[in-house]
């Protein structure tokens, strides 16, 4: 039977990681893999995480299962972090998931249960796994205009026009903040306009928020999402703790569903818990318990907030440093958008051939669509990256 399987197309990011690892050059630079790195090029364990883990090690008396939905304290803590006061408890269903990817998968599985004929409207461009999961589940995908490659910003008019074609039973996928791969985010006014269009269409918004705290700050990064939830009767929110808590390998995520009333909440919760049961039964708990410890303890939360703020400020400084170096060396402001955008990523606008040239001639690695992870930069390697970008003809 197994001989009937077809080969799968290798994941581009995994392939890039393998190519980078095999490159013997000592001065190679990884701008591809989407993880935060400090000035030493290391992805550290946050100090608040270490403290929380030590407390768990000291105090935890059992490793028995949590509920199918995960630990309720974790779900409530994440609702407070992401939603604030935007949705009452009796409107909110939730499950813990293995990472933000697990939350996206469970959200789309829930959509398939509710309406197999749903069209999922996806920004162009978007995180590649969005389209991959939608296609794997057999749902219809509709791309909507998002990024203007000439203006290097959000194409708000095109986005609103395309979203106006959605209807009841469809889903509109939005990035909560720090858009991946472009770094171009909606303004508060844009969020209000998008919310109004979705309200007219009757579509279901689905917000993927994987970088809260790395754009403008924890509260500001969730403001657009919260305004949408306060206005519309329903929403799905997939959240990740990989980046803002540094818990990449612990796979900490949550899917929240905001419903119009308590009765719908109860039915939705039953479906979400059943999806967990049918997919992996009980979700992982260690990373979720770490997050709960941090968010529940004022001192730990303050320490985490300070460290997260430092991470955000470092990425912003690297953005400015790269933009300034490119401006100085090119005599042009055509790279100013890098400093103006938010989060870990930006699109350079390079062709696949130019991306390959930067890799082959300069050892600068990035995804084929020219998405770069700004956290892969350092003060020392910015000049080399700028040299590679300009030598490639950008």
No. of helices (H) and no. of strands (E), the chain: 14, 13
Per-residue pLDDT of the chain (394 residues; tens, 9 = 90+): 999 999 988 778 888 888 999 999 989 999 998 899 998 889 999 999 999 999 999 999 999 999 999 999 999 999 999 999 999 889 999 999 999 999 999 999 999 999 999 999 999 999 999 999 999 999 999 999 999 999 999 999 999 999 999 999 999 999 999 999 999 999 999 999 999 999 999 999 999 999 999 999 999 999 999 999 999 999 999 999 999 999 999 999 999 999 999 999 999 999 999 999 999 999 999 999 999 999 999 999 999 999 999 999 999 999 999 999 999 999 999 999 999 999 999 999 999 999 999 999 999 999 999 999 999 999 999 999 999 999 999 9
Determine which helix (DSSP H) or strand (DSSP E) holds 130, and give its type and residue range. Answer: helix 128-136
The DSSP result for 264-329, as a single string, is HHHHHHHHHHHHHHHHTSSPP-HHHHHHHHHHHSHHHHHHHHHHHHHHHHHHHHHHHHHHHHHHHH
Give all domains of the chain, ordered by start, each with its CATH number: 2-45+301-391 (3.90.1150.10), 65-296 (3.40.640.10)
SS3 194: helix
Instruction: Retrieve residue 373's tokens.
Output: 């992870």
Instruction: Retrieve residue 125's tokens.
Output: 């461009």
pLDDT score recorded for residue 49: 98
Q: How far is CA 351 from the centre of its chain?
A: 24
> Using CA of residue 124, residue 127, residue 130, residue 133, what is the dihedral sign?
positive
Residues 6 or more apart in contact with residue 261 via CB below 8 angstroms: 90, 91
Distance, in Å, from the CA atom of 266 to the CA atom of 272, rounded to the nearest integer, reads 10
Instruction: Retrieve residue 172's tokens.
Output: 């509109």
Q: What angle do CA 33, 144, 177 make, to 5 degrees?
A: 45
Distance, in Å, from the CA atom of 64 to the CA atom of 44, rounded to the nearest integer, reads 29
pLDDT score recorded for residue 13: 82
pLDDT score recorded for residue 283: 96
User: For 285-289, which contacts have Cβ atoms below 8 Å and span 24 or more sequence positions?
Assistant: 285/66, 285/70, 285/71, 285/74, 285/96, 286/56, 286/250, 287/241, 287/245, 287/247, 287/250, 287/251, 287/252, 288/70, 288/71, 288/74, 288/96, 288/241, 288/252, 289/52, 289/56, 289/60, 289/71, 289/74
Please report, in angstroms and rounded to a whole number, the separation of the first and last CA atoms in the chain.
49
What beta strand segments (E) does 19-145 contain? 29-30, 92-98, 119-124, 140-145
User: How far is CA 287 from each of CA 43, 254, 272, 303, rounded to the nearest angstrom?
Assistant: 16, 12, 20, 17
pLDDT score recorded for residue 15: 85
pLDDT score recorded for residue 263: 96
Catalytic residue IDs: 127, 208, 210, 243
Q: Which of 218, 223, 236 is nearest to 189 (CA)?
A: 223
Q: How many CB atoms are located within 10 Å of the residue 277 CB?
A: 12
What beta strand segments (E) does 7-118 contain? 29-30, 92-98
Distance, in Å, from the CA atom of 360 to the CA atom of 190, rounded to the nearest integer, reads 40
């Amino acid at each position: 039977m197994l001989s009937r399987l077809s080969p799968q197309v290798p994941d581009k990011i995994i392939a890039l990681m393998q190519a980078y690892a095999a490159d013997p050059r000592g001065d190679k630079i990884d701008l591809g893999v989407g993880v935060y790195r400090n000035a030493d090029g290391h992805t550290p364990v946050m100090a608040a995480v270490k403290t929380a883990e030590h407390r768990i090690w000291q105090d935890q008396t059992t490793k028995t299962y949590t509920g199918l939905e995960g630990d309720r304290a974790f779900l409530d803590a994440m609702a407070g972090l992401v939603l604030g006061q935007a949705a009452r408890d009796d409107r909110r269903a939730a499950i813990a998931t293995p990472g933000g990817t697990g939350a996206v998968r469970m959200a789309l599985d829930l959509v398939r249960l509710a309406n197999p004929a749903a069209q999922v409207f996806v920004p162009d461009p978007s995180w590649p796994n969005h389209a991959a999961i939608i296609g794997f589940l057999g749902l219809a995908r509709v791309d909507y205009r998002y990024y203007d490659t000439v203006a290097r910003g959000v194409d708000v008019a095109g986005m609103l026009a395309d979203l106006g074609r959605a209807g009841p039973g469809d889903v509109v996928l939005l990035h909560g903040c720090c858009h991946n791969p472009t770094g171009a985010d909606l303004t508060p006014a844009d969020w209000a306009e998008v919310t109004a269009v979705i309200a007219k269409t009757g579509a279901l918004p689905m917000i993927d928020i994987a970088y809260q705290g790395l754009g403008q700050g924890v509260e500001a990064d969730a403001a657009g999402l919260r305004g949408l939830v306060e206005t519309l009767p329903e929403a799905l929110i997939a959240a990740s703790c990989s980046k803002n808590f540094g818990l990449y390998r612990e796979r900490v995520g949550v899917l929240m569903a905001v419903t119009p009333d308590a009765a719908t909440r109860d039915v939705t919760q039953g479906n979400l818990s059943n999806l967990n049961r049918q997919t992996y039964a009980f979700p992982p708990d260690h990373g979720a318990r770490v997050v709960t410890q941090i968010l529940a303890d004022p001192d730990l939360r303050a320490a985490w907030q300070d460290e997260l703020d430092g991470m955000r400020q470092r990425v912003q400084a690297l953005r400015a440093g790269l933009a300034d170096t490119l401006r100085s060396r090119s005599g042009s402001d055509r790279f100013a958008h890098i400093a103006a955008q938010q989060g870990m990523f930006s699109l350079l606008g390079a062709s696949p051939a130019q991306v390959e040239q930067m890799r082959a001639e300069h050892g600068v690695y990035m995804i084929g669509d020219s998405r770069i992870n700004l956290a892969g930069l350092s003060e020392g390697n910015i000049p080399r990256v700028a040299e590679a970008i300009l030598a490639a003809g950008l």
